[in-house]
Each structure stands twice: as structure tokens, then as C-alpha cells.
Amino acid sequence: MGHRIRLFVPAAFLIVVTCIPALSVLAIQETEVPPQLQPPVDEQLLLQLHAKGDQIYACKSESAQFNWTLKAPDAQLFDKKDQLFGKHFAGPTWQANDGSRVTGKAAVTIASPDAESIPWLLVKVVSHDGNGILSRVTTIQRLNTKGGKAPGSGCDSDHVNQEVRVPYSADYFFYSPK
């Protein structure tokens, strides 16, 4: 009886806890990126976006084997202020609201730390369209994936060419030459 407990809480902790949007930005910036997914040393971060949408899979048959095959992503891209920036779709292609667009090809694929999520990627840009913000992008990282994996079952002779949409989210980091 009569015991007092004093808690010391650093001011920095209070700032992070009370600024929830800042917390999500900090979490993204502190992601440990595997060395294989690092962009070239002569590139710098240009833009960071968050994708929310679906991975679309089609049931395909090849040599009497049935598998869900990725058809395309279909996602909206949001900036750090959660404002709609553009979209991500087949190609894979990323398009900004200013009309600029890049299409890429996966150069490196690493399993996500979350076994239920699609892999992390390093993508090399293979084509550009338009003169907006994406016109200088040369490399893209896909990190912090949640969901989006192909179903583990349901693709058989009765479902050939049927499609399923699997919700996912990811962070995309766009790099350009220094």
C-alpha cells in the first residue's frame, strides 16, 4: 500500500504512438530489404506507393496438369497521403494519373516473409510512355506484400479458363538515376 510506480516514456515514443499515419510510414522505411532486391547503386528513390487490389489468376491446363496462372494484377496506387496516384495492371504496368507509364520485367524474385503472400520483387523497367513522374523510373521494388497468392486448389478440368481474384496489397518503390 502506498507504492508509487513511475513510468518514463521518451517523447519520441509519444510522437510515434500519437501520429498513426507516421507509424505506417516508419514501418515501410524500416523494412529490411534482402541484398538481392537492392536497386543499382547509381539509382535513388524517386517515389513510394502503396497498392491495394487483386491478383487475377486463370485456371490453365498444360500436359494434363491444372494450375492457377497469374493473368494480371489489378490495383489502385496510393501515395503517402493516401491520395489516388494511379493504377497497376497487366504488363506488369504502373500508370500515374499524369499519364506517364512504365512496364517492367521481374529481375529477382524472393519469397515474402509472410508465407501467405506473393513474393517480393526487383523489377527492371523495359518501356516508358508519357512525360510525367514515371518517365525517369528504371527500377521498381515490390515489398511488404500481403495476400495475393494463387489458390491452392480448385483448378481442375471443370474450371479451365475460369478466373479468380485474390486480394493483395504491397508497397512499390520506384528508383531513377541519380
Question: Is the pLDDT confidence value at 1 over 70?
Answer: no
% of the chain with per-residue pLDDT over 90: 80
Q: Is the dihedral of CA 137, 131, 77, 89 positive or negative?
A: negative
pTM as predicted: 0.81
% of the chain with per-residue pLDDT over 70: 83
List, for residues 112-164, the tens digit of each pLDDT value: 999 999 999 999 999 999 999 999 999 999 999 999 999 999 999 999 999 99
End-to-end CA distance of the chain: 64
* Run of H or E including 68: strand 65-78
List, for residues 150-172, the tens digit of each pLDDT value: 999 999 999 999 999 999 999 99
Q: What are the backbone dihedrals phi and psi of residue 27, each rounded to the nearest 5 degrees, phi first? A: -60, -40
Mean pLDDT of the chain: 86
Match 511488404 to its residue by C-alpha cell: 144
List, for residues 10-19, the tens digit of each pLDDT value: 333 333 333 3
pLDDT value for 76 = 98
Residues 6+ apart with CB under 8 A from 79: 48, 49, 50, 85
Rg (CA), the chain: 20
Residue predicted with more confidence, 78 or 2: 78
pLDDT value for 30 = 55
Q: Are residues 49 and 174 in contact, defined by beta-carbon separation less than 8 angstroms?
A: yes
| Residues listed for the chain | 178
Q: Are residues 15 and 22 in contact, defined by beta-carbon separation less than 8 angstroms?
A: yes
What average pLDDT score do residues 50-63 get? 96
Question: Is the pLDDT confidence value at 174 over 50?
Answer: yes
pLDDT value for 106 = 97
Residues 6+ apart with CB under 8 A from 78: 49, 50, 51, 52, 84, 85
